Structure 1
Amino acid sequence: MDNKVNDALRLEDILNTTPTAVGWSSVSSGRIEYINKAFSELFGYDLSDISDLKTWYSHAFPELHANPHAVAPWDLVGDENGFSPDLKTKLLCKDGSVRQVGIRFSTVGDKRLWYFNDITDYWVAEERLRARSDMLEMVAKGSGLKEILNVIVKQVQRESPSSLCSILLFDATEQRLRLGASPDLPEFFNQAVDGIRIGMNVGSCGTAAYLGKRVIVEDIYTHDYWKNFTALAQKARVAACWSDPIMSSKGSLLGTFAIYKRTPASPTNKDLELINFACNLVSIAIESVKAQEELEHRAYFDHLTGLGNRGYFFEQCDNILKESLMKGFPLSILMMDVDNFKSVNDAFGHKTGDLVLQKLAQVSELILRREDIIARIGGEEFAVLLPTIDKKEVLRVAERLRKAIETSMVLSMDNQKVYFTVSLGIAYKDHGYCSVDDLLSIADNALYQSKSAGRNCIFSLEYNAHNSLF
């Protein structure tokens, strides 16, 4: 008997010196009889916390434990030699953190010896690489920024299940934070935070954005930064908030990333490293989406005037022409050309010529409706699509444009006043099928007639109808 006791003691001494987390249990009773030092250090539990497998399972795997159909890893059957297959799973530690572990056991008689291999670092690295890859793929496929940011938040919350995360985007014009992604915080909380102005004592995020540095609030209810928002935090059941500013590659503020906790808490080094990872990934996502949007904008919009370009105009016209055919509403295309534009460039320089084109665009957008489409389709040539209005109204709009442009003025590089005019040609379609090219050709002919009539005037041609001088 003494020899058996001594053997057991010697085995425990040996297992306490190994860096591998080890424990053993009784097969017949399910009682956990021993865990080594590495086990307690890794998971935080001691033997008094987990006296049997049922208790250990409820602590370490609460989600599976709540499912009566889940198969406990402890119930796996070993092979003929008494060894189990490898099992990789998440395990909840006593402090609420999560570790990814590899589990094996061997059975000898009534004893089942468990081995736990901590693979959290490898799992985290793989998950983060996958999250980064998924994010970049979503950017390439044109996914919306909110959808991409939600993926990032979910990844962080997988690594830290006790955390609730929020991404706010910085509106530089209004100096406010706008909701980017916060899928698991209450909707009332998100609505209250959306649009909040940055500044001191504006919670963790408003202050972090204002200061441009990390803000750690371990206890929301005792901290000055949250003194105006404690009721909101209490309703949302959050008690700690750690927030980092998200910076662009050029050092400008893009937004904030925050981790909320249900109870007062200070971040560990791993928490801070996780925040750094999240901020970096969010920064890449925002800048990538903005770059993609900029490329798309350049593909469809004129860099000088900000109006649509020829490709954009044709695409929009084609869609509206199809709609007009189905719904039976009239539409017109109006062509505008700056009169004697070469003379402006020759007399005042190309920079002044650019100002003339920008002014024309600005004046036109003030007069046209939201549903009208204007584009720069050539050097000094502009086209406008006017859907749903009849010919008389089209002529009134054209005359308003002509008069407004005639009275417009820009200053040359040497501060001389430069006035300019436009000639306009209208192609009007009341019904029937007509292609964009057909209407543009008719409008171009009308524009030629306007130029021939002395410039600074309007000429209209109706599709399959007679022309008229206005």
Structure 2
Amino acid sequence: MRQLTLAVDRSDTALLTLDDTLGVTYVNAGFTRLFGYTLAQMQGKRPSQVLAGPHTDPDTLRGLSEQAAGWQQSRADLLLYRHDGQPLWTSVITNPVSDVPGAPSESVSVITDITHAKMHEVLHTHVLDAIVREQPLTDVMAMICVELERVAPALRASVLSVDHDSRLHTLAAPSLPPEYAQEIDGLRIGAGVGVCGTAAWRGRPVSVSNIRTDPLFKDFPYFAERYGLQAAWSSPIKSSGGRVLGTFAIYYGEAREPDPWHIKLADICLHLCALALEREHTRARVHQLAFYDALTSLPNRMMFNARAEQLLVNAESQHTPIAVLFLDVDRFKRVNETQGHAAGDGLLRDIAQRLGENLGLGDLVGRQAGDEFVLALPNCGAEQAGGIAERLLGAIAAPSVVGHMTLHPSASIGVAIFPEDGRDINTLLRHADLAMHRAKIEGGGSFRFFSADMNRLAQERVALETALREALRRDQLQLHYQPQVLSHPPHPLYGVEVLLRWEHPQLGPISPARFVPLAEESGLIGDLCRWVLRNALRQLADWRARGVAIPRMAVNLSASNFEDPQLLDELLRLLQHHGLSPSDVTLEMTESVMLSPQPRVLDNIAAMQAAGLALSLDDFGTGYSSLSHLHRLPINELKLDMSFVRDLEHSMSARALTNSVLRIGESLRKHVVAEGVETERQRRLLAGLGCEVLQGFLFSKPLPAAELERWLAEREGE
């Protein structure tokens, strides 16, 4: 009860209970914070008696009361008032509560402040939609006033424009008499011309708490009597360049200072009014935004494609070639991650400028997306396109000074030629993109021409990705298990490594070296990882239940898996579901994990280790291994790559390097597992060097679960 009370009272939502007469019996602290009333002030009273105000909708209030009196659930948006008179838009939900089924005895009401949501819904969604649909200016301005008054019924609003002769004209004043517009129209702005004329003249907001006595209205004494206006606040509507375009004003029916909430609403309206008043300019800006890239001012994908298609039509009629280039900045993601997005944006602007400086007048360049640029070069064949690509690569490679940093960019370019490589721009871009990816795979900083083989490989990749999705959906993948044994006879079982296999019905066995990178690129790696963990842990639990002695299980994870903040929680839930311990599982990572710039990767690894999961560094010694990297990661185990083991028998260097790895593991108190052990001599050499755990075909190839059980049974029978 104490915890429940704390939770209820610390909530920002107002909670109250009502008896069978709809009188208040309880309010939480959130109610007091929201409305300013204590339980003592509310006890026994109906909420509407206290919270309703001059602009609370009586029909909505009546409907809520009737539903509550009939013990029905009710829900409505309602304008209510705080103790200090501040209006709040709220969502009110009331539910009957019954100790005995079918016999409710009290109700619980939940009241949530939705003022901000109302502001967004009404003053942004509706009005912006009207502006986008290009409704007439006066209609948009009237909508702004009407919607503001609907959110804040105590107000009356007006929008005036200021012409080039500095005269005021009424655009909208829906709640004021027509005579108001007649009085305003033609007035020249200046000091003492009411709140609107003065605000436009001063260029800043003006507030009048009493129109009857304020000197700004000395020439307009009839405003108070004729229109019932007692107080006002007005602000100039300015263009993006700072020019005063008009004024927005709110009026009160009583003498008072403007409410801060109303000022906030008016500020939103000011922005919307500025957008509407600059409509002609905005239309030009919309065209710019629709067809040009905001960062580089280059044509965007839509504009580039439209212009390029026209170039292709001309080239078709003139029988001339066109070269289409697809350019991607190398390692751009690393720039954003290490230097920040401002540096990345600056680099893209520099590259866009360099591209423009190195192209002819008839050439077309656009920004496709992100760090991708596309070019269409009329009357340009393959040989000329190669020279231009070389020139562009050289221009891009020049140092780029961004802020206080000097970057050394490079790019990969793919080239497709019209009409040989395609007769429409989408095909040409797709083929140039394929060629660009080939250049990137081969190291970047170069260009490649499209070939039919690339297209075939790309189509095969799409088909393989589709097949992999289907295999995941239909549970068509398999797990094999390769034993890991201690190095000295009789080689007790240390554990098993889980290895993923895929036997396609038509294509046959597909190597993980092929489909795992595909899963990474296509975003399937998370689903693939979860499939492996789910099925591997189910199998381990089954073995334990049947007394099959499997001490531990090692599972490979990709670098991106370690970026998943949900992975650890899901893994722990699976372990708990199957009655397994975290110590039963070792997670294997590649050395690329150590190079990840993402802070959450190291955080996830630390959390995994803290949860009791062992961590193993796979293929140790082949990549970027260093003691400084090992120091960063809480690794429990190193896996000596099979390339060292393969050369042990005939290479002193391999033995020396293997010995070094083993001594590193020994000094850091980490287990070392040698992979790829295939001969008895390799086993003896590794055992002699002090390697604890061995894995390889000498002992067993990876086996399906049933065959692994037979392998274990045969060992026990020896």
Q: TM-score, normalised by structure 2?
A: 0.35
Q: Name the CA shift for 1:103/1:127 in 2 (closer, same or farther; >3 Å).
A: same
Q: What residue identity is the alignment partner of 1:117?
A: T
Tell me which of 229, 254, 277 is aligned to 1:263: 254
Q: What residue identity is the alignment partner of 2:65?
A: A
Q: Give the Cα–Cα distance (whole angstroms) in 2 for the partners of residues 69 and 55 of structure 1.
A: 9
Paired-residue identity, %: 26
Q: What residue identity is the alignment partner of 2:155?
A: S
Tell me, yes or no, if the aligned pair for 1:96 and 1:162 is still in contact at 8 Å. Answer: no
1:26 paired residue number:
19
TM alignment of 1:356-435, pairs within 5 A: none
Tell me which of 72, 79, 84 is aligned to 1:91: 79
Q: What residue identity is the alignment partner of 1:32?
A: V
Q: Report which of the two structures shows the higher radius of gyration computed on alpha carbons.
A: 2
1:245 paired residue number:
236
Q: What residue identity is the alignment partner of 1:23?
A: L
1:119 aligns with 2:114: yes
1:276 paired residue number:
267
TM alignment of 1:33-432, pairs within 5 A: 33-45=25-37, 48=41, 51-53=44-46, 55-56=48-49, 59=52, 64-65=57-58, 70=63, 72=65, 74-75=67-68, 84=73, 87-94=75-82, 95=85, 97-109=87-99, 110-139=105-134, 143-173=135-165, 175-289=166-280
2:498 paired residue number:
none
CA deviations 1:111-168 (Å, max 9, x no partner) are 32222122322332233331243222331xxx32111111111122222111100000
Q: Name the CA shift for 1:76/1:192 in 2 (closer, same or farther; >3 Å).
A: same
Task: Give the number of the structure with larger relative contact order, counting CA–CA contacts within 8 Å between residues 6 or more apart.
Answer: 1
Q: TM-score, normalised by structure 1?
A: 0.52
Count of aligned pairs between the two proteins: 278
Q: Name the CA shift for 1:167/1:276 in 2 (closer, same or farther; >3 Å).
A: same
Q: Give the Cα–Cα distance (whole angstroms) in 1 for the partners of residues 223 and 178 of structure 2.
A: 12
Q: Name the CA shift for 1:49/1:25 in 2 (closer, same or farther; >3 Å).
A: closer
Q: What residue identity is the alignment partner of 2:79?
A: L
Q: Name the CA shift for 1:190/1:99 in 2 (closer, same or farther; >3 Å).
A: same
CA deviations 1:226-275 (Å, max 9, x no partner) are 22223322321121111000011121111000011112232344322222
Q: Name the CA shift for 1:34/1:222 in 2 (closer, same or farther; >3 Å).
A: farther
Unaligned runs of 5+ in 1: 1-6, 296-470
Q: Give the Cα–Cα distance (whole angstroms) in 1 for the partners of residues 237 and 61 of structure 2.
A: 43
Q: Give the Cα–Cα distance (whole angstroms) in 2 for the partners of residues 146 and 98 of structure 1.
A: 29
Q: Name the CA shift for 1:92/1:206 in 2 (closer, same or farther; >3 Å).
A: same
Q: What residue identity is the alignment partner of 1:65?
A: P
Q: Name the CA shift for 1:52/1:39 in 2 (closer, same or farther; >3 Å).
A: same
- Structure 1 residue 77: deviation in Å? 6.0
CA deviations 1:65-84 (Å, max 9, x no partner) are 358984537527668xxxx4
Q: Name the CA shift for 1:57/1:49 in 2 (closer, same or farther; >3 Å).
A: closer
Q: What residue identity is the alignment partner of 1:163?
A: L
Q: SS of the counterpart of 1:266?
A: coil
Q: What residue identity is the alignment partner of 2:81?
A: C
Q: Give the Cα–Cα distance (whole angstroms) in 2 for the partners of residues 49 and 189 of structure 1.
A: 44
CA deviations 1:201-232 (Å, max 9, x no partner) are 11100100111111111222232212222332
CA deviations 1:405-443 (Å, max 9, x no partner) are xxxxxxxxxxxxxxxxxxxxxxxxxxxxxxxxxxxxxxx
Q: Give the Cα–Cα distance (whole angstroms) in 1 for the partners of residues 147 and 43 of structure 2.
A: 30
Q: What residue identity is the alignment partner of 1:53?
A: R
Q: Name the CA shift for 1:128/1:230 in 2 (closer, same or farther; >3 Å).
A: same
Q: SS of the counterpart of 1:220?
A: coil
Q: What residue identity is the alignment partner of 1:111?
A: E
- Structure 1 residue 171: deviation in Å? 1.6
- Structure 1 residue 108: deviation in Å? 3.7
Q: Give the Cα–Cα distance (whole angstroms) in 1 for the partners of residues 95 and 211 of structure 2.
A: 45
Q: Give the Cα–Cα distance (whole angstroms) in 2 for the partners of residues 23 and 260 of structure 1.
A: 35
Tell me, yes or no, if the aligned pair for 2:206 and 2:234 is still in contact at 8 Å. Answer: yes
CA deviations 1:377-397 (Å, max 9, x no partner) are xxxxxxxxxxxxxxxxxxxxx
Q: Give the Cα–Cα distance (whole angstroms) in 2 for the partners of residues 66 and 102 of structure 1.
A: 14
The Cα RMSD (Å) is 3.5
Q: Name the CA shift for 1:69/1:18 in 2 (closer, same or farther; >3 Å).
A: closer
Q: SS of the counterpart of 1:274?
A: helix
Q: Give the Cα–Cα distance (whole angstroms) in 2 for the partners of residues 279 and 64 of structure 1.
A: 27
Q: What residue identity is the alignment partner of 1:198?
A: I
Q: Give the Cα–Cα distance (whole angstroms) in 1 for the partners of residues 179 and 121 of structure 2.
A: 35
Q: Name the CA shift for 1:52/1:74 in 2 (closer, same or farther; >3 Å).
A: farther
